[in-house]
């Protein structure tokens, strides 16, 4: 799963005196009258622009050139950033937001609740926290499974192990690769336990009960209400997921045998075609509808045409410019990482970066010429265009309406990568007939619908860890309880508390909140359905593409331009006309597949215990 950079989520906030001096309010540091709330937030905005590059550049270099020096530089920059950020948040909490003008009050609230990580006030603990964060991310980024020792040629990277999981149909080889990647995470376990303690201490300093409560407070509603909203959306789509899980389990049991896949229980994670069992699209051939030929193979088309990685990015840019949006800045093309370097360690996890809160937008990928990365590039440029769209806002408002919106924007575009769009850009000669739609919908469901419970459970696990409901001695057991509860997925071999399987997923050691991806999956289909209605489209929802439609571009531009300046229902309304998130758009999109799944599952025992 792709993401925008941590810097885009952790805006650089600097100490009050430095900010005040930048804005010409030096008296605040000399014992004169305290700045008003409006002066304080103006000083913050000024300081953000003046100091936006230092941290993000250090993080960029560390992610694209992993070694001891870049780790140390990133840790130092992060320590300085976190200390100043928390001081600013504490200062914001001393102002009476209710007495301030609406825009100022919103900025004060964002300063206090808009953090992903709050550091303790103690400098030694701050430094310890940032060192832990840097160490965990570096451990993940450079992780390898070396069964015969680190100096042998048996070492396999994540990419090597993913290649097995994605493509093999040998149960033993799949299990070996699955277990192999999870050997990189146990060394993180003690670090993560300490990270929880330190981050919770920082959150409590800001008035939150724990880090999880701080994360849930940033959605323009009380934290408990937000948890209830997530449950409501999940309940809307759970029946479709249950039908998909039932069909996939039956087909996998037939392929591998009941001794590997119990036809009535949760599915073992190693046979689902993804290292984390978050997307099942790589097992399409095992669960596809009969005669399920989509009519084309995009990977084959791209490779046979000799399409380069940069040309794939140029095609994605063309989608956005067809909506009436501007071309990407020249610096995007010279500063992005498109290919995996051969001479150094890098984090290949796809991400989009806005280093200066202005026009220095970039993506970081290790692009392969295939259909998956073709779609991922469209997604990542969605981040880039959102970043460019709100760059005229005050610096504290230069972010998406909520973090789910940032992820959803790119996926809205990816939903429009239809056969009709591929015809429009010359990759297909003719659009496949309607009888090919079922196979296309199955491919999409194995990616999008299969992901939904996974998108929930990572933060469910972390919320319970941060709150203390899950103590350290139950980290791994609690992880697998949630995997079974939400996904109907189980570990393929015995796991103990000597393991730390959550750490084998990037977003845990990278401290990236994950509920945003669940929200993005809900929002992308809602945006797609309502944009298609707005442009007058009347056919099957899964065949609609907004490519080339400037009315769709206008609505998206209006939403993006708001940034974080208004509550998210305002931004949603600008694009869709609705102020409430609605997961039923997923049911509308997959309606033909849902009917087929129910037919296939007749006589099967669905559900799991």
| Residues paired with residue 4 on neighbouring β-strands, in sequence order | 352
Q: Tell me the residue ranges of DSSP E strands in 162-303.
A: 267-268
Residue 20: pLDDT above 60? no
Q: pLDDT per residue over 34-52, tens digit each?
A: 899 999 999 988 887 777 7
pLDDT level of residue 605 (50, 70, 90 thresholds): very high
| pTM of the model as a whole | 0.85
Tokens read off for 606: 């669905």
Q: pLDDT per residue over 220-252, tens digit each?
A: 998 889 999 999 999 999 999 999 999 999 999
pLDDT level of residue 415 (50, 70, 90 thresholds): very high
> Residues 290-316, buried b or exposed e (16+ Cβ, 10 A)?
eeeebebebeeebeeeebebeebbebb
pLDDT recorded at residue 32 = 54
pLDDT recorded at residue 3 = 44
**Mean per-residue pLDDT, 191-207:** 94
H helix runs in 4-101, sequence order: 6-9, 16-22, 37-50, 52-64, 68-93
| Burial class of 607 by CB neighbour count within 10 A (0 to 12, 13 to 18, 19+) | exposed
H helix runs in 511-549, sequence order: 515-534
Distance in angstroms (rounded) separating the CA atoms of residues 321 and 31: 52
Ranges 175-184, 287-296, 527-536, 556-565: which has the least confidence:
287-296
Q: Is the dihedral of CA 430, 431, 435, 436 positive or negative?
A: positive
Pairing of strands 267-268, 351-354: unpaired
pLDDT recorded at residue 201 = 95
**Mean per-residue pLDDT, 576-602:** 96
**Mean per-residue pLDDT, 408-430:** 92
**Mean per-residue pLDDT, 268-290:** 95
* Sequence spans of domains, the chain: 7-140+189-218
Who has greater pLDDT, 297 or 493?
Answer: 493
Residue-averaged pLDDT of the chain: 90
pLDDT recorded at residue 402 = 93
Q: pLDDT per residue over 93-150, tens digit each?
A: 889 999 999 999 999 999 888 788 888 888 899 899 989 998 998 999 889 999 888 8
pLDDT recorded at residue 292 = 65
**Mean per-residue pLDDT, 468-476:** 98
Question: Within 13 A of 22's CA, how many CA atoms are on the CB side?
Answer: 19
Who has greater pLDDT, 89 or 284?
Answer: 284
| Residues paired with residue 362 on neighbouring β-strands, in sequence order | 353
């Amino acid at each position: 799963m792709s993401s925008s950079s941590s810097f885009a989520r952790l805006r650089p906030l600097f100490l009050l005196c430095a900010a005040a001096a930048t804005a010409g309010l030096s008296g605040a540091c000399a014992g004169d009258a305290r700045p008003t709330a409006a002066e304080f937030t103006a000083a913050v905005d000024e300081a953000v622009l003046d100091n936006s590059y230092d941290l993000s550049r250090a993080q960029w270099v560390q992610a694209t050139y992993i070694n001891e020096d870049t780790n140390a530089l990133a840790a130092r920059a992060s320590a300085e950033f976190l200390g100043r950020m928390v001081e600013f948040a504490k200062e914001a909490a001393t102002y009476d937001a209710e007495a301030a003008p609406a825009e100022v009050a919103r900025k004060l609230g964002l300063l206090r609740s808009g953090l992903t990580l709050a550091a303790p006030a103690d400098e030694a603990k701050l430094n310890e926290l940032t060192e832990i964060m840097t160490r965990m991310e570096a451990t993940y980024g450079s992780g390898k499974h070396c069964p015969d020792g680190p100096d042998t040629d048996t070492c396999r990277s994540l990419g090597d192990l993913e290649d097995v999981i994605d493509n093999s149909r040998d149960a033993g080889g799949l299990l070996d690769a699955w277990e192999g990647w999870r050997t990189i995470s146990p060394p993180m376990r003690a670090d993560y336990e300490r990270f929880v303690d330190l981050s919770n201490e920082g959150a409590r300093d800001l008035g939150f009960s724990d880090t999880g409560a701080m994360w849930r407070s940033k959605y323009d509603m009380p934290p408990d209400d937000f948890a209830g909203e997530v449950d409501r959306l999940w309940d809307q789509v759970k029946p479709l997921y249950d039908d998909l899980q039932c069909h996939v389990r039956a087909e996998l049991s037939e392929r591998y045998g009941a001794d590997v896949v119990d036809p009535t229980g949760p599915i073992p994670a190693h046979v689902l075609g993804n290292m984390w069992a978050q997307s099942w699209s790589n097992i399409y051939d095992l669960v596809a509808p009969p005669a399920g030929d989509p009519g084309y193979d995009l990977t084959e088309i791209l490779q046979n045409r000799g399409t380069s990685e940069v040309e794939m990015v140029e095609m994605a840019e063309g989608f956005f410019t067809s909506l009436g949006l501007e071309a990407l800045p020249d610096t995007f093309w010279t500063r992005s990482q498109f290919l995996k370097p051969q001479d150094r360690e890098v984090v290949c996890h796809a991400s989009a970066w806005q280093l200066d809160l202005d026009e220095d937008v970039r993506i970081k990928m290790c692009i392969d010429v295939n259909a998956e990365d073709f779609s991922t590039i469209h997604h990542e440029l969605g981040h880039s265009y959102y970043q460019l769209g709100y760059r005229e806002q005050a610096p504290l408002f230069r972010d998406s309406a909520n973090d789910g919106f940032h992820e959803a924007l790119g996926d809205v575009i990816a939903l429009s990568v239809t056969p009709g769009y591929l015809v429009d850009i010359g990759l297909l000669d003719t659009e496949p007939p309607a009888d090919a739609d079922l196979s296309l919908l199955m491919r999409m469901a194995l990616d999008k619908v299969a992901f939904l419970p996974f998108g929930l459970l990572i933060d469910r696990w972390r919320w319970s860890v941060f709150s203390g409901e899950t103590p350290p001695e139950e980290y791994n057991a609690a992880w697998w309880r949630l995997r079974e509860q939400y996904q109907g997925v189980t570990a393929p071999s015995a796991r103990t508390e000597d393991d730390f399987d959550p750490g084998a997923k990037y977003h845990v050691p990278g401290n990236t909140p994950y509920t945003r991806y669940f929200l993005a999956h809900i929002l992308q289909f809602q945006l797609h359905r309502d944009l298609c209605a707005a442009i007058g489209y009347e056919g099957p929802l899964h065949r609609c593409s907004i490519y080339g439609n400037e009315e769709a571009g206008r609505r998206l531009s209006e939403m993006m331009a708001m940034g974080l300046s208004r509550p998210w229902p305002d931004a949603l309304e600008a694009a869709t006309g609705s102020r409430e998130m609605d997961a039923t758009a997923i049911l509308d999109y997959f309606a033909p597949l849902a009917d087929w799944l129910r037919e296939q599952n007749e006589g099967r025992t669905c559900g799991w215990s």
